[in-house]
Structure 1
Amino acid sequence: MTIALSDHDKNTLRIAADSGAVPEAVSGQDRPELQKAIEEIVESGFIGVSLRVHDERGEWAGSAGARELGGTAKPPINGHVRIGSNTKTFTATLVLQLVAEGRLGLDAPAADHLPELGLDRRITVRMLLQHTSGVFNFTGEVYDDGTVVPGIPIPYGTTGKEWVDNRFRSYRPQELVELALSRPARFEPGTGWSYSNTNYVLARLLIEKVTGRTQAEEMQRLILGPLGLSGTVAPDTSPEIPAPHTHAYYRYEDTGERKTIDVTRQNPSWISTGGDMISTTRDLATFISALLGGRLLPAPLLAEMCTPHPTGIPNMDYGLGVFVVTTDCGGTVISHNGAAVGHAALMYGTPDGGKTLTAALGCVDDADLSIAAAFRKAQQRLLNEVFCGRRADPAQPTG
């Protein structure tokens, strides 16, 4: 359906878009199935959801729910969100750009550039990006027999109070890596697959060692600047998040009492480049489209990035900083999603970057990951709606 807008309406939209608050009626009126999907996702337990889709029908963006608990204002359509492990895709892209520049070797030992850490020399740069290094995850490991080996205080798997009390603490990347390397490796390098945030903090240290600049500076030089991603931030230790944004909450037990607090402000250095970045649905869509469309990497390196390595997760293999997902309708999408204590972000694209789905979600998080099932269903619902043209079958695995 074609929408005719007056000059006044266009100006109103421009001002609203700049503030992140696109009027709901205009942004969503010709894609009711997408608006309905995000409204139902909110009903499943989320505070607010913002969705952006680019496909053969053009671009659509909408939101549902609220910006904060008890509020009535809608989430900003292009608000800022802590993107969690989507950070890994940005970091992997940056490493591969340095490979393209000849500053790193993909199959060279990471220890060549970080000799002070005492890394196993069998661990290559590729293994870090692919999660096949075997290095202990500094946020803790859960082994196949159910054994849990904790790492630093994190918001999941405990009462949560220790993380709450330390949520403004600053961690140095080296501190996180040193803790991880003080623990036994999960497996011999290259002999298995296990998702480890440590791999991507090591990738950050590699970037900074070979360039002599911070990861944030290199990110600006090679990705954010060239793509004009003005809404994307690598915050390092800053607890701030730019406005506008949906609020993030955390529920925890304290001396037998259940408390819910606003954790929108938090120091993300506890996860570092495992998941510290902030972005918007627009910037994520621009990034994944440009990446898969060949604007950031030479074709051979992009092919390496998207080559699937088995993970043991149904319908989800891993490349270099991206998941390679098989949809319910038999297609392939390239993805990374992330959660960051009360915030979450989705990022999907077809292998050519021509169709994209990005989303920002706000919720009440807790140590038991109570929102996890609803999050998986939300992912599958949107994935099927956008890439398969149908609703998710509740009986299907959510992956």
Structure 2
Amino acid sequence: MAVGVATLLAAEVTTAVARPAGPSPMEQLRQDTEAIHALGISGVQARMITPDGRQSVASSGTADLITGRPVSADGYFRMASTVKTLVATVVLQLEAEGRLSLDDAVDHWLQGVVQGNGNDGSRITVRQLLQHTSGIHDDLPGYTTPEEYYQQRYDVYSSEQLVARAMAHAPDFRPGEGWGYSNTGYILLDMIVQKATGHPAHQEIEDRILRPLGLDQTRWGGTSATLPRPHARAYQLFGPGSVVDVTEQIPVEHESLSFVTTTRDQNRFLRALLGGRLLPTRQLAEMKQTAPVSGELQQSWPGGRYGLGLVERPLSCGGTYWSHEGGDGGYITLNGVTADGRRSAVVAMSEARGDTPEHILEQENAGSALIDHALCVRAPSIP
């Protein structure tokens, strides 16, 4: 595997009268990106923003295992499940406008779509879809071997087809009586947004969030199998010595959830959301009403709780932060923002070490450590 030297791409470091014990925030960010790369992950880019708006960026590894090209500080990557926070924000904006209610049944908007095998759309609410408490089973297509990747990477599914796959299964639990991560639930939310507005959810995201915030590096990809430039190649580890370039593929949830972004835009979105710039006070408070995640996810998110499209996680320095990571097609992204929206960080990795549970958890823990360190920075004391 080709490796690159850890490179500091940009840095703005506050000068203080007395240097704090331990590494500076910028040095810590650089060390954390190097630690992630040292796990065997081909490329890493990270960006943190302080309360005064200053940015620090670090990278490690390579954007291309063949050419050794360095990782760009402004490289695009697939947003994956972080899009759920965008979808939830649009739904809560629609609630604030009186155009839907969180207590609406799914059948109110999508009559007869959720039915069969014990599934009942008249008993599932919009709130339960947002919080993953609907009980709807997930059965999205996916690949677990290189052969499956090459066979499936250009397959295209409609939202209706993906929901139908879930309806072939009995619910995992009764609505409101458990917690289970369901991508299908967010496909249904996309469909509800279109019913409520007459526009595809990706257009509502563009009009309500991206354009007002000037997030011009966040783009809906649709059925495109490629990303804008610059971007790091994405790799998937399937087994010992089996690293496959999986950059080129059509995301399964392409109809509304296929967005690409950068660490700059993701930071700006999370800061605007928690800073109260996208939702009225009541809707932001609704978003932050959380439920404990499943025992399986507690391994990855110790102490984690899920609100409405937003995850609350504890900080090692006390308090909590808000986030929603994403992983798709070799790109793994973790992020976090403090409760006041003033300090944030994003780390994007361009290789998924998904061959063993141990490697998955190791990568998750290293990314989480970077976010925790970036958000727990304290100003140096001055004697």
Q: TM-score range by the shorter chain?
A: 0.7 to 0.9
Structure 2 residue aligned with 1:202:
188
Q: Percent identity?
A: 36
Q: TM-score, normalised by structure 1?
A: 0.82
Secondary structure of 1:116's aligned partner: coil
Contact 2:9–2:73 (Cα < 8 Å) also in 1: no
What are the equivalent positions in structure 2 for 1:304-319 lying under 5 Å apart?
A: 304-312=286-294, 313=298, 314-319=302-307
Q: Does the 8 A contact of 1:48 with 1:246 survive in 2?
A: yes
Structure 1, unaligned stretches of length 5 or more?
A: 1-22, 140-151, 391-399
**Using the alignment, how far apart are the partners of 1:337 and 1:222 within structure 2?**
21
Equivalent in the alignment of 2:92 = 96
Q: Distance in 1 between matches of 2:90 and 2:231?
A: 26
Deviation at 1:388, TM superposition (A): 2.7
In structure 2, the residue matched to 1:13 is: none
Residue 249, structure 1, aligned to residue 231, structure 2: no
The separation in 2 between residues aligned to 1:77 and 1:373, in whole angstroms, is 25
Where does residue 35 of structure 1 map in the other structure?
30
* 1:322 maps onto 2:322 in alignment: no
3-state DSSP class of the match of 1:115? coil
SS at match of 1:189: coil
Q: By how many angstroms is 1:166 displaced?
A: 0.8
Residue in structure 2 matched with residue 164 of structure 1 by the alignment: 150
How do 1:113-124 residues align onto structure 2 when only pairs under 5 Å count? 113-117=109-113, 118=115, 119-124=120-125
Tell me if structure 1 keeps the 8 A contact 2:249–2:329.
no
Determine the C-alpha separation between the residues in 2 that align with 1:25 and 1:60: 9
Taking structure 1 as reference, are residues 42 and 252 closer, same or farther at Cα in structure 2, changes over 3 Å only? Answer: closer
CA separation of 1:39 and 1:209: change in aligned 2, threshold 3 A: same
- Give the aligned partner of residue 164 of structure 2: 178
Distance in 2, matches of 1:368 and 1:271, equals 27
Deviations 1:20-60 (A, max 9, x none): xxx95561374222112111211112111111101146221
Q: Write the letter of the residue equivalent to 1:265.
A: E
Equivalent pairs counted in the alignment come to: 349
Q: Cα distance, 1:251 vs. partner?
A: 4.3
**Residues 166-203 of structure 1, C-alpha deviations (whole Å, 9 max, x = no match):** 11111101100011012100011111111011110001
Is residue 372 from structure 1 mapped to residue 360 from structure 2 by the alignment? yes
Q: Does 1:226 align with 2:212?
A: yes
Decide whether the 8 Å contact of 2:221 with 2:254 is kept in 1: no
Residues 237, 269 of structure 1: 8 Å contact kept: no
Q: What residue ranges of structure 2 are gaps of 5+ in the alignment? A: 1-5, 14-25, 379-383
Which residue among 71, 79, 83 is the counterpart of 1:75? 71
Answer yes or no: is 1:237 the counterpart of 2:223.
yes
The one-letter amino acid of 2:68's match is: T
Within 5 A, what are the aligned runs for 1:1-399? 27-28=10-11, 30=13, 31-56=26-51, 58-117=54-113, 118=115, 119-139=120-140, 152=141, 154-155=142-143, 158-252=144-238, 259-270=242-253, 276-312=258-294, 313=298, 314-366=302-354, 368=356, 371-389=359-377
For 2:98 and 2:324, the matched residues in 1 are separated by 26
Q: Contact 2:354/2:360 (CA < 8 Å) preserved in 1? A: no
Q: What amino acid maps onto 1:109 in structure 2?
A: A
RMSD over aligned Cα atoms:
2.2
